[in-house]
Amino acid sequence: MSEANHLYAIALGSNRRHVRHGRPAGVVAAAIAQLDAKFVLFDASPIILNKAVGGAGRDFANAVALVESGLEPMEMLSRLKTLERDFGRRPGRRWGERVLDLDLVAWSGGRFRSRGLTIPHGRLGEREFVLGPLEAIAPNWRIVGGLTPRHLLWRLGKRRQES
């Protein structure tokens, strides 16, 4: 483990009921509590409810949590995948229903790229359901090419107006 602490933005999503945590919003809240127990929770956005995209089925509950950890990105990803499995996530359709989805969308170390992980998340600028919660807790964090969540949301809205 590295001596340096990193700040990670983790997108959380659920669109499937959990036997213990109930509806998707309860799953996301329980996952935030687990992130707090396993790492240092810096902040968490409100949980939002929104329509599923890409054939994912039921509507989603989404949030973003900021956690602090000395873990490097690949080890952090491994821990998040373990947490997903602990909540009952199993391999399935790429855009299918899921009890819990955790994505590393940004970190304080800037850009990171390896097999299986790219930070910032490649589709961050297209995902209002991630940008909105991230903007609520870290509006001025420079993430993509010096752009903040606030800038990225504005650009996304502008593109939608033009189409």
Beta pairing class for 60-69 and 40-44: antiparallel
Between residues 144 and 72, the one the model is more confident about = 72
Q: Which of 101, 142, 159, 160 is catalytic?
A: 101
Stated pTM of the model: 0.89
Output the average pLDDT for the chain.
88
Instruction: For the beta carbon of residue 106, count every other beta carbon within 10 angstroms.
Output: 27
Q: What is the pLDDT of residues 24-83, one digit of tens each?
A: 999 999 999 999 999 999 999 999 998 766 655 678 999 999 999 999 999 999 999 999
The angle at the Cα of 152, spanning 123 to 139, to the nearest 5 degrees, equals 115
Determine whether 43 is an active site residue: no
**Token pair listed for 129:** 């359901």
- Which residues lie across from 101 on neighbouring strands? 13
Task: Give the residue, 37 or 21, on which the prediction is more confident.
Answer: 37
Average pLDDT over every residue of 123-140:
92
Q: Which of 23, 58, 79, 89 is catalytic?
A: 89
Residue with tokens 């499937």: 16
| 17 carries an active-site annotation | no
Q: Catalytic residue at 36?
A: no
